[in-house]
Amino acid sequence: MKLTVTVIQSDLVWENVKANLDNFTKIILSDDKETDLIILPEMFAYGFSMNPEKFAPYRDEITGKMLEFAKHKSAVVTGSVITGENGTYFNTLVWMQPDGTYKTYNKRHLFSFAGEDKHYTKGKTSLITELKGWKIKPLICYDLRFPVWSRNKNDYDLLLYVANWPERRADAWKTLLKARAIENLSYVIGVNRVGYDGNDVYHSGDSAVFDAKGNRIDNIPSGKKHIETITLNLDELKKFRKKFPAAKDADDFTINY
């Protein structure tokens, strides 16, 4: 079984919903490649904003646009959106399906270094969803640094991260994506933004796709806007897992919330 995935590495206009939605509309509607899944960066409609009370009201507009993209491409569209109200807000990954149904995951690990924990509430559950026979676990940015939260208990085939990860820590981003692929015997995709944010922090993108052996299999350039469509092979993944069954030797554990 194969899964075709489209990675969109783009600059984001700081806290400007209209400009960002217009940008992604142009990118997605002008792309003629067939795909099953389109992945956008973390907080793709505003950048990594600490003003949730200002942007949470845009939730329906943004998810409505995601549905428009999903219908147009007959594909799932995912990325993170600010949700919540009355002082309780979340950095929420939305998994929008072409029929209008959707699933969500609230970011578990909030980036306290930037004060995210002071403006958002952390999530308490993970999400594993299915698409074309694939089991997929989507996570958000800083979650990447916490391997227990990402750990594969033989329940997913693709691990993906949407991010606003700065260039100054790009080596960690690339290293950890590769490590998550190897240790979890899974495909891993990281989708990051490029450009400067409103705090003058530069993002080099470095979006990437790794196979379960830790081989990078994409051609996404660093530091540039880019759209890439790549096809993953589940039969090859299962064959490798059978040949090298390291998962059966893994430690069992329970996460306490």
SS (H, E, C) the chain: CEEEEEEEECECCCCCHHHHHHHHHHHHHHCCCCCCEEECCCCCCCCCCCCHHHHHHHHHHHHHHHHHHHHHHCCEEEEEEEEEECCEEEEEEEEECCCCCEEEEECCCCCHHHCHHHHCCCCCCCCCEEECCEEEEEEEHHHHHCHHHHCCCCCCCEEEEEECCCHHHHHHHHHHHHHHHHHHCCEEEEEECEEECCCCCEEECCCEEECCCCCECCCCCCCCCEEEEEEEEHHHHHHHHHHCCHHHHCCCCCCCC
Please, which residues bridge with residue 158 across strands? 136, 187
Q: For residues 101 and 95, what is the distance between their CA atoms, to the nearest angstrom?
A: 9
Q: For residues 69 and 63, what is the distance between their CA atoms, to the nearest angstrom?
A: 10
84 dihedral zone (left: phi>0; alpha: psi -120 to 50; beta)? left
C-beta of residue 45 within 8 angstroms of C-beta of residue 83: no
Catalytic residue list contains 107: yes
- 65, 73, 107, 178: which is the annotated catalytic residue? 107
Catalytic residue list contains 61: no
Catalytic residue list contains 225: no
Token pair 């996460």: residue? 255
- 141, 167, 183, 228: which is the annotated catalytic residue? 141
Which residues are known to be catalytic? 42, 107, 141
